[in-house]
Amino acid sequence: MNIFKSFPQFVPQKVCLACQGCCRFSDKKSVWRPKITFEEIDETAWKNATLAKKLTAALDEKGYLSTTASQQVAVDGKPAHHCCGQLCEQSNECQIYADRPVECSIYPVLIVARGNKVVISLHLSCPFIQEYYGSEACDQYIEEVKAFFGSYEVQEFLNRNRHLAGDYSEYKDELAEIMTIDLKDDVKFDLLNRRLDVEQALKCTQHQQSGYAFNYLFSWHKFFKFEFKVISGFLCIFAHHELGCFMYLPPLGEGEPTENVINVCFNYMDSCNEDKSVSRIENVEAGQLGMFKEAQFKAIIKENEYVYAKKDIITLRGNMYKSKRADYNYFVTHNIFSYHPYDPSMKEECLALYDEWKKEKEEKSNDALYTYLLMENRDVHQLIFNEGAHVGIVGRVVKIDDKIRAYTFGYRLNETTFCVLFEITDLSVRGLAAYIFSRFCEDRALEPYTYINVMGDFGMENIKHAKESYRPQEIVQNYTVSRK
Ligand code: SF4
Ligand code: SF4
């Protein structure tokens, strides 16, 4: 993880290679197994999608990486110990050393859970620490560790990823406390710390709709207070706002939720809502409608989502894309431009571009719903500029004459599909929209994906027309289900 690349190292690598103290555990569910965060997995994914997939598959419900039984056999014939699944036992080397989890890169420093605090501690069982603890070199190392964990950026990371703090109470005699960090009581962090549960529940089934992603949920947290309940093993996400309570997604988990689970969800929403018609489940996919008994429920199409073959958008080949190709070519031949990864230092300029774009759209529209969406989306864009990177949302900008004139952001929906969350361009520049869309699809970060979902049309004709003009390969219907 980038911010941990500068973590001070004390134990020489050659000492570790000769030691068999780390990466092996007496119990396959040991508290000493390394944990990993989705932030780390996201960062890996942009460089090495295969590794990110492997790490996601190796995650257990508490964020630990799974272990394998050692090939060494004890006297009783059982494995001598359990190894981290990323360890090559023969060479004693970590196979993902350059991308190893934060927990591994800071060891023998530990992040210890203590109520609403974390205690940064030194593990005295490491033989190298045993030898040098109390020495000037070790004291100096401890000071460097303190300075590192004193930084705002690192403390924010800990607040976002509380599951990294382990319960080592059984081993308290082996720990030397270095410093204590108070965790913040904040709705944003509460939601971010739900990511592991949500991602694990989403992993059970592949979905095509853009809403089935933690990062999308996160992008709406300023508008809704999300509440999570586990009902008969299904993760149920309720969204509360001033008009009442609804379910953001159908219950998530292994297989289909039973009739009873659905009824418990509706009863809960009804208990929150004075107006029972507010009780509903959103983002229901066509394939899920069977879980709702026709006699009891009604389903309406909320909107369509548009999915393209990525290669079509990159090449813009053939008669179907003639006008898009002409726009693209016009743009690249008539402008001095550059394409860049988004950086938080660009947020003011991006927001100013959004305001320009919004003004122009408002002037051309007299649809009250559309104007409201433009206003609401401003807050979502601002949130993503500030926090998107923490939940795996990537952004790109196009500069013309060194000024940002377009931006786009998106996220991984599943193994084959990438979602474009939004795209804003200077409407006066011919071909800029076609260029940034096509260029983003060609981006290295999107290499693992075959399809691009550009989300819904809000049931609005102008958006529908714009999204259809890129010739979708598939249209995904997005239903809302309520009681009759
Ligand atoms: S216990 Fe200490 S010396 Fe041994 S591998 Fe781990 S960090 Fe290195
Ligand atoms: S990820 Fe690598 S460093 Fe960490 S426990 Fe596993 S093998 Fe060891």
Query: Is residue 368's pLDDT more than 90?
Result: no
The strand pair at 87-88 and 93-94 is best described as: antiparallel
Question: For 429-473, how does the pLDDT look when each residue is reduced to its tens digit (9 = 90+)?
Answer: 999 999 999 999 999 999 999 999 999 988 788 889 999 999 999
Taking the CA of residue 97 as reference, the ligand 2 atom at the shortest distance is: 2
Ligand 1, atom 8, residue with closest C-alpha: 16
pTM of the model: 0.90
User: Ramachandran region of residue 455, left (φ > 0), alpha (ψ -120 to 50) or beta?
Assistant: left
**Residue ranges of the chain assigned to CATH 3.40.630.30:** 305-483
> In the prediction, which pLDDT does 78 show?
73
Question: For 261-279, how does the pLDDT look when each residue is reduced to its tens digit (9 = 90+)?
Answer: 999 999 999 999 999 999 9
Three-class secondary structure assignment of 433-481: HHHHHHHHHHCHHHCCCCEEEEEECCCCHHHHHHHHCCCCCEEEEEEEE
Q: Say if residues 232 and 258 touch (Cβ distance below 8 Å).
A: yes
- The DSSP secondary-structure symbol of 184 reads P
The structure tokens listed for 30 are: 């040991």
- Percent of the chain whose predicted confidence (pLDDT) is above 90: 80
Q: Which of 23, 30, 40, 107 to mutate to test the pocket of ligand 2 (most atoms within 8 A of CB)?
A: 23
Distance 163 CA to ligand 2 centre (A): 18
Nearest-5° Cα angle at 132, 127 to 135: 165
Mean of the pLDDT values across residues 316-338? 97
Ligand 1 within 6 A of CB of 107: yes
Question: For 162-200, how does the pLDDT look when each residue is reduced to its tens digit (9 = 90+)?
Answer: 999 999 999 999 999 999 999 999 999 999 999 999 999
The strand pair at 417-425 and 451-456 is best described as: parallel
Q: Does 34 sit behind a cis peptide bond, omega within 30 degrees of 0 on the bond before it? A: no
- SS3 call for 106: helix
Ligand 1 within 6 A of CB of 52: no
Quick one: CA dihedral 326, 327, 330, 333, positive or negative? negative
> In the prediction, which pLDDT does 75 show?
67
For domain 305-483, the question of CATH label 3.30.360.10 is answered with no
Which helix (H) or strand (E) segment is 333 a member of?
helix 322-334
Q: Which of 9, 15, 97, 138 to mutate to test the pocket of ligand 1 (most atoms within 8 A of CB)?
A: 15
Residues with Cβ within 8 Å of residue 445, at least 6 apart in sequence: 46, 394
User: What's the topology of domain 198-303?
Assistant: Aminopeptidase (3.40.630)
Ligand 1 within 6 A of CB of 299: no
Question: For 390-437, how does the pLDDT look when each residue is reduced to its tens digit (9 = 90+)?
Answer: 999 999 999 999 999 999 999 999 989 999 999 999 999 999 999 999
Question: For 105-157, how does the pLDDT look when each residue is reduced to its tens digit (9 = 90+)?
Answer: 999 999 999 999 999 999 999 999 999 999 999 999 999 999 999 999 999 99
Alpha-carbon 74 to chain mean position: 41
> In the prediction, which pLDDT does 21 show?
87
From the list 204, 290, 284, the residue with the least C-alpha distance to 248 is: 284
Question: For 53-106, how does the pLDDT look when each residue is reduced to its tens digit (9 = 90+)?
Answer: 899 888 887 899 999 988 777 767 777 789 999 999 888 899 999 999 999 999
- Percent of the chain whose predicted confidence (pLDDT) is above 70: 100
Q: Which of 102, 104, 106 to mutate to test the pocket of ligand 2 (most atoms within 8 A of CB)?
A: 104
Rounded to the nearest 5 percent, the helix, strand and coil shares of the chain are 40, 25, 30
